[in-house]
Amino acid sequence: MRYEPTLVFAKAQDTADPLGRYRNTFSFPKLGTPEMAYFSGHSLGLQPKTVRAAVELELDEWAKYGVEGHFHSTNPWYSYHENLTPPMAGIVGARETEVVCMNSLTTNIHLLFVSFYRPTPDRYKIISEAKMFPSDRYLLETQARFHGFDPDDAIVEIEPRDGEWTIRHEDILKAIEANADQLALVFFGGVNYFTGQLFDMPALTAAAHSVGAVAGFDLAHAAGNVPLELHDWDVDFAAWCSYKYLNSGPGNVGAIFVHERHGSNFDLPRFGGWWGHDKSQRFKMESGFKPMHGAEGWQLSNVPILGMSAAKASLDIFAEVGMAALRKKSEVLTGYLEYTVDRLAHEFPDVGVSIITPRDPRQRGSQISINVAGRERQLFDDLVAEGVIADFREPCIIRIAPVPLYNTFEDVYTFGKVMRKLLAEGDKK
């Protein structure tokens, strides 16, 4: 598409946008700022307007039925999580038996490591990306120690080359080769939270398998953002949260994927709880853990219905729209943001605005991370004061997510307009 830097152009794109009507199905913050352009869907997705009624229904049923709601409410709580499985499986390209919503993200990765990180004295290394989200780094570090290994030895972090921000796939593949005999696990973010780089998950999975290692992914920034085909890619396991691109509400329930190859392997070590136990026998309250087939066999506890009801309302929107339509708009809208930032870089050559996210749309999702060396903190605070809500990360990066479900071309235009004003003012200071 040929982009133009005008409000007329942006509005024309919005009018022609087949997903345009979804914007009004979300609540936008009102912060008393001159503008409101929300670009933080990578941190906390906005609230679908359908969430309130969905949560209220469960509050009403709890009031009305008490414990009887487990079986007699409109959506019986006993099997409530099953309602979330089909839309969630659709989002990540999985069979329904391969996915379940439960717990939260870091907890789930630890639980999956019980089954899929089985280090031996010879084969114990984990290859991951440098600058992984801190929770994942703490997780890897403590997992290595838990198994008696020195994290500095066990964790091989692949870094960008000197002077570069993103990681070259060839460097990851080389490290997998180099560590072939000692490698237990390749564990990457699907999309790196900092740079927005989308990794080639099928290639990493194939490379891990070719040396006898397991492949797992943290999809916090990928689920609901980029197309995923976890089953076909033969990924061993994955986990993600639902409150970023999936808009289910702060801290809400996470989800896991376990490939069907492993779902009925009851020899895999795992931690058990009653919700993962054979459903037909669950209330017999007997000892002898018999896990359910598939991802459900990793569940521990009965589920938080109020949160799940919000998540369900949001996932229903994804089921209606479909990832293909979202991806299509995401590419064009993210491209417009890239174009807008490039124009600013050109207009203010002395400021040094630059994009660190890959330029190739196949290597990114709905995120552009920009480096505004030296100016970013002040600029970021000023952006927020103007009502352009993005995200700042140390040391010098502003992360902007144009989310196809609710962001518009006009939002991107507004971002450009506000940035231009702030950069021009900064030049005068």
| Interface residue list for ligand PLP (CB under 6 A) | 104-106, 133, 135-136, 189, 193, 218, 220-221, 241
Based on CB atoms, which residue is closest to ligand PLP, 95 or 110?
Answer: 110
Q: State which residue, 106 or 143, has the beta carbon closest to ligand PLP.
A: 106
Q: How far is the CB of 225 from ligand PLP (least distance, A)?
A: 11
- Helices marked H in 81-130: 85-92, 105-116
Nearer Cβ to ligand PLP (169/393): 393
Nearest to ligand PLP of 246, 292 (CB atom): 246
Nearer to ligand PLP, 110 or 420 (CB): 110
Residues 6+ apart with CB under 8 A from 391: 39, 40, 42, 43, 398, 399, 400, 401
- The distance of closest approach from Cβ of residue 409 to ligand PLP in the complex, given in angstroms and rounded to an integer, is 27
Closest CA to 100 of 201, 242, 234: 242
Nearby residues of 212 by Cβ (< 8 Å), 6 or more positions away: 123, 180, 183
Report the residue number, 308 or 344, with the smaller CB distance to ligand PLP: 308
In the complex, what is the shortest distance from the CB of residue 282 to ligand PLP, in angstroms, rounded to a whole number?
A: 27
- The distance of closest approach from Cβ of residue 16 to ligand PLP in the complex, given in angstroms and rounded to an integer, is 33
CB of 127: closest distance to ligand PLP in angstroms?
Answer: 16
Rounded Cα–Cα distance for residues 257 and 51 (Å): 25
Distance of CA 15 to the CA centre of its chain: 29
Structure tokens belonging to residue 279:
């459903």
Q: Give 176 or 191: the residue with its C-beta nearer to ligand PLP.
A: 191
**SS3 for 319-359, per residue?**
HHHCHHHHHHHHHHHHHHHHHHHHHHHHHCCCCCEEECCCC
**Residue 89 token pair:** 């499986």
Q: In the complex, what is the shortest distance from the CB of residue 101 to ligand PLP, in angstroms, rounded to a whole number?
A: 13
Q: Which residue number, 375 or 399, has a Cβ lying nearer to ligand PLP?
A: 399
Could you tell me the CA-to-CA distances from 110 to 131, 137, 290 in Å, in that order?
19, 12, 21
Residue 144 CA to residue 312 CA, distance in Å, equals 35
**Least distance from C-beta 361 to ligand PLP, angstroms?**
21
202: preceding bond cis by omega (within 30 degrees): no
User: Least separation, in Å, of the C-beta of 362 and ligand PLP?
Assistant: 21
The label of the residue with tokens 């089953």 reads: 231
Please state the closest distance from residue 341 (CB atom) to ligand PLP, in A: 22
Closer to ligand PLP by CB, 40 or 104: give it. 104
Structure tokens, 145: 């120690």
Tokens 């830097």 correspond to what residue?
5
Q: Which residue, 82, 108, 90, is CA-closest to 308?
A: 82
